[in-house]
């Protein structure tokens, strides 16, 4: 980041983390989401900005962007001032040495909640809930959930192995509470028609493996990163009326109505164990994150969020394709 230090990001345009999306039901509106806020933007204005956004990396001046996109300098500046008004322009990059620890942890929490909300909005389960998925995608989602939940404790154990003192104790407790939870997902998959052997010998999609590897690398490098990861992915709330919604979904996709009961039991257990509150409950540990580590940690969290985005895309692609093996198969020497 040294090449961007002290730059004015109105002169060398660069935005805060921003997500732009629209729905087919209201294509005339785009939604701009930045940390802590979201805005509606007319689609015609958003589409004018997108070619400019491509070059908003802090490397180019407004004049250079004008040349590259063929857009008038005054128009670009007007767009940027509009983004400045909603605090969407990237903050100036300075040393964080004198930044209070509680300010660092607050910014870290904001990043986690931003990406948590985006995952809730974009994850494959939304298509399933909105009845836009193929039955095999539902099975695929549960299979990848099985692999994710089976492997997650291993990553937490690696964090504990690289921690000391109170942090090690908290992580070991989390590890022990998470062990063996894949059995709940296995039971749901058996109700979906798979055998226990099929589930246990199946291979995860590459994106699911990437999630696991990203977590391992993060937890090795900084065991404290378990807390922001838990905030981003663990359930903070569990409402009893969700059970009826899942029963309706099960019947829609041709399963027996109790097919998700074990899956929901797992969600409830994690909620009651307080896993969604690990960040706040251990804020005294979170605030031990070093100033020099915070930028890499936030970038790693962003990569992890995109691993889940890739998982959604891969589940939809693989499990909706005719002729694909379900579950995905392990490929050995003898398959070649």
- Compute how many other C-beta atoms are within 10 angstroms of the C-beta atom of residue 84: 12
Are 239 and 268 in contact, with CB atoms under 8 Å apart? no
At 17, list the tokens.
């983390």
Share of the chain above pLDDT 70, in %: 99
Predicted local distance difference test score (pLDDT) of residue 236: 67
Predicted local distance difference test score (pLDDT) of residue 274: 93
Same fold, 2-85 and 101-335: no
Q: Is the dihedral of CA 283, 288, 292, 296 positive or negative?
A: negative
At 83, is the secondary structure helix, strand, or coil? helix
Angstrom distances, CA of residue 79 to CA of 45, 53, 73, 89, 163? 9, 10, 10, 11, 47
Predicted local distance difference test score (pLDDT) of residue 330: 95
CATH number of 2-85: 3.90.930
Sheet holding 37-42, edge to edge: 19-21, 29-34, 37-42
> How far apart, in whole angstroms, are the C-alpha atoms of residue 276 and residue 267?
11
Token pair 């580590």 in the structure block, residue: 293
Predicted local distance difference test score (pLDDT) of residue 1: 76
Q: How confident is the model at residue 125 (pLDDT cuts 50, 70, 90)?
A: very high
Angstrom distances, CA of residue 325 to CA of 254, 317, 328? 20, 13, 5
Predicted local distance difference test score (pLDDT) of residue 3: 85
Per domain, the residue ranges of the chain are: 2-85, 101-335
Q: How confident is the model at residue 100 (pLDDT cuts 50, 70, 90)?
A: very high
What average pLDDT is seen over the chain?
A: 95
pLDDT in tens, 195-242: 999 999 999 999 999 999 999 999 999 999 999 999 999 876 777 789
What does the pLDDT average to over 241-267? 95
Please determine, for residue 63, whether its predicted confidence score (pLDDT) is greater than 80: yes
At 46, list the tokens.
């958003």
- CATH homologous superfamily of domain 101-335? Heme oxygenase-like (1.20.910.10)
Are 171 and 156 in contact, with CB atoms under 8 Å apart? yes
SS3 per residue for 30-76: EEEEECCEEEEEEHHHHHHHHHHHCCCECCCCHHHHHHHHCCCHHHH
Measure CA 208 to chain center.
12
């Amino acid at each position: 980041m040294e090449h961007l230090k002290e730059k004015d990001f109105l002169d060398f345009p660069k935005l805060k983390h921003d997500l732009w999306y629209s729905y087919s039901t209201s294509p005339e509106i785009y939604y701009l989401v930045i940390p802590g806020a979201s805005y509606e933007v007319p689609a015609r204005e958003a589409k004018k900005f997108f070619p400019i956004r491509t070059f908003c990396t802090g490397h180019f001046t407004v004049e250079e962007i004008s040349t590259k996109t063929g857009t008038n300098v005054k128009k670009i500046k007007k767009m940027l001032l509009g983004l400045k008004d909603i605090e969407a322009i990237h903050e100036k990059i300075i040393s964080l040495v004198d930044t209070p620890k509680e300010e660092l942890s607050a910014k870290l929490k904001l990043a986690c909640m931003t990406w948590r909300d985006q995952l809730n909005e974009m994850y494959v389960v939304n298509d399933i809930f909105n009845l836009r998925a193929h039955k095999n995608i539902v099975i695929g989602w549960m299979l990848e959930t099985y692999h994710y939940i089976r492997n997650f404790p291993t990553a937490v154990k690696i964090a504990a192995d690289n921690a000391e003192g109170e942090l090690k104790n908290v992580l070991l407790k989390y590890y022990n509470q998470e062990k063996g939870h894949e059995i709940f997902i296995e039971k749901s998959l058996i109700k979906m028609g798979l055998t226990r052997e099929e589930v246990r010998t199946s291979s995860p999609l590459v994106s699911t493996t990437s999630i696991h590897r990203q977590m391992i690398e993060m937890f090795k490098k900084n065991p404290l990163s378990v807390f922001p990861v838990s905030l981003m992915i663990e359930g903070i709330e569990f409402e009893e009326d969700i059970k009826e919604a899942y029963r309706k979904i099960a019947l829609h996709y041709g399963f027996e109505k109790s097919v998700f009961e074990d899956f929901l039991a797992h969600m409830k257990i994690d909620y009651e164990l307080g896993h969604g509150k690990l960040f706040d409950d251990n804020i005294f540990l979170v605030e031990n994150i070093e100033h020099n580590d915070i930028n890499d940690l936030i970038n790693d969290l962003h990569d992890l969020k995109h691993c889940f985005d890739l998982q959604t895309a891969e589940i939809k692609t693989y499990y909706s394709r005719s002729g694909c093996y379900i579950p995905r198969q392990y490929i050995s020497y003898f398959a070649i």
